[in-house]
Structure 1
């Protein structure tokens, strides 16, 4: 249970770091690329597996790691934009409501049961993302305010689904750090392409604060994933329970951080959205 608690705390801090990027005017994409170099290094240092770098392409989880690497760099960038443009609470709700996606996939992939309560939970999750993105209690949510939360919702759900599938079917417990290192390495390579494009377009302006931001993001990013995978491998804890406790707790803790440290103003619709988010997760995984 300690791994799950640590994952919740560190995952919540990731949203705070992204918000601080906006405060200190740190280039998000540059910091994200550096973050993956830091996470890659931590994965290699913590690995106890006998796998060597030339052996990586022969691993059964290699293709999954490539796909996850692409999703990581893309969704991480969307998370940063969402936290900065929409606020911490919106970003956490949109990201953590995505638990409904692996649940829905599980119904078809693993023949898991589907019932009325679970369907209601899925519908409430979508409503929660909509309401948490609202900027006014009287006017409807504009598409530009909903775009990044929706992309974060879909992207985070895809990561949870693929990560669980690959971890369950192909990754041994002792290979987790090396598996994560490979994912982060792939994300670093994909992120470097973005930087190269900026260089070619002569739009690249690097600042030393991006290094600080990358370190501040990379350390919690790596350990949030390692602790989550270790929690998923804990005997007696079902994956649905792990994702539920993790996601609900992150939504609550991130909202507390937003209110205490960044003085974010939540309107009535936002509070309703956060409440529905918590209820929907509990419904989906308890059904």
Structure 2
């Protein structure tokens, strides 16, 4: 249970740290790039036997595809940061957790690797997840009263949670596919480090291009913000994997509870630290999200 709670805490820390970036004038893209340097270092520290990397075939198809996954890592993380900053931490958590619908649908209809028969209640849960996402995406702009931009920017805020939903879902689908196809169970940490190395290469290349061609300035605060972010980023996955192992690798049992707790703790932490308030539709979205996750996995929860 300790691993379970640590996974939730470090996941919520991700949203809260990225939400704080504008206050400290941290460039989100620069921070995301250096976040993956920190992820790689954290992963290496936690790897029991670094010699395992000597066995990696760096020219193999699986390794190349895993490195390419780094591009999706960077994209998804940028969208998470934008959603947390422009909309709310709760909306970010909701979009990220509801994105489980995408890998579930791919598992059912594309990969056909689902280990249970879906019932009408399970499909109802998937539908409710989409409704919950839509309700959670409706937010008020943080522009101060009397600001020049009016209905236009406020009406377009919903796009950030939607994009985060699709990016996170695609990311998780690719992680599930590549890790299960190319890596044995004991090499999940190796898989994540290789993917983060890909993110380092891709993100750094884009960053250097921006600095050389467009004259972007790299600030120490952005580098530091990214290095700080990378630790909970890697640890959130690390402890989630340990929690899965502790519960007999029952993903269908662990992920629903993990997602529910992450959403609820995110909403509470955002209210305490940033005074974020949910409107009526957001509250309904949060309740529907909990109901959706329960319905999707009610068999494993023994309900």
Q: Could you tell me the TM-score, scaled by structure 1's length? A: 0.90
Are the structure 2 counterparts of residues 144 and 64 from structure 1 closer, same or farther at C-alpha, using a change threshold of 3 Å? same
The residue number in structure 2 matching 1:110 is 113
Report what 2:22 is aligned to.
Answer: 22
Partner in structure 1 of residue 78 of structure 2: 77
Q: Report the secondary structure of 1:51's partner residue.
A: helix
Deviation at 1:231, TM superposition (A): 2.7
8 Å CA contact 2:67–2:196 kept in 1: the answer is no
User: Aligned partners of 1:51, 1:62: CA distance in 2, in Å?
Assistant: 14
Give the Cα–Cα distance (whole angstroms) in 2 for the partners of residues 90 and 262 of structure 1: 14
* Contact in 2 for aligned 1:180/1:226 (Cα 8 Å): no
Equivalent-residue separation in structure 2 for 1:167 and 1:276 (angstroms):
31
SS in 2 for 1:122: helix
- Match status 1:216 vs 2:214: no
Report the equivalent of 1:183. 195
1:225 to 212, 229, 237: 237
**Residues 142 and 279 (structure 1), Cα distance of their counterparts in 2 relative to 1, 3 Å cut:** farther
Q: Which of 219, 225, 250 in structure 1 is aligned with 2:262?
A: 250
Residue 63 of structure 2 corresponds to which residue in structure 1?
62
Query: What TM-score comes out, normalization by structure 2 length?
Result: 0.86
Contact 2:31 2:222 survives alignment (8 Å) = yes
**2:98 paired residue number:** 97
Name the residue aligned to 2:136: 132
C-alpha deviation, 1:168, in angstroms = 3.4
Q: In the TM superposition, what whole-angstrom CA distance separates every residue of 1:73-125 from its partner, at most 9, and x where no partner exists?
A: 11000000000011100110011101112222222221542322122111111
Judge conservation of contact 2:38–2:228 (CA < 8 Å) in 1.
no
Give how far 1:164 is off: 2.7
Q: Deviations over 1:215-243 (max 9, x none)?
A: 21011111111122233334524111121
Deviation at 1:135, TM superposition (A): 2.8
Instruction: For residue 205 of structure 1, give the secondary structure of its aligned residue in structure 2.
Output: coil
> Residue 131 of structure 1 contacts residue 270 of structure 1 at CA under 8 Å; is this kept in 2?
yes
* 8 Å contact kept, 1:7–1:227: yes
- In 2, the alpha carbon distance for the partners of 1:172 and 1:102 equals 20
CA, structure 1 residues 67+124, in 2 after alignment: closer, same or farther (shift >3 Å)?
A: farther
Listed as ranges, the matches of 1:25-40 within 5 Å are 25-40=25-40
Counterpart CA distance in 1 for 2:58 and 2:4 is 30
Give the SS at the match of 1:206.
coil
What do the CA deviations read for 1:5-56 (whole angstroms, capped 9, x no partner)? 2111100110000001122110001011111011111222322153336834
SS at match of 1:57: coil
Whole-angstrom CA distance in 1 between matches of 2:71 and 2:243? 24
Shift of 1:277: 1.0
The answer on whether the counterparts of 2:35 and 2:229 sit within 8 Å (CA) in structure 1 is yes
Conserved? CA contact 1:39–1:184, under 8 Å:
yes
Q: Is the 8 A contact 1:15 1:83 kept in 2?
A: yes
* 8 A contact 1:100–1:281 mirrored in 2: no
Q: Distance in 2 between matches of 1:279 and 1:247?
A: 12
Residue in structure 1 matched with residue 143 of structure 2 by the alignment: none
* Deviations, residues 177-208 of structure 1 (Å, cap 9, x unaligned): 32221111101111112212312332412211
Match of 1:206 among 218, 235, 241: 218
Q: 1:59 to 1:192 in 2, by over 3 A?
A: same
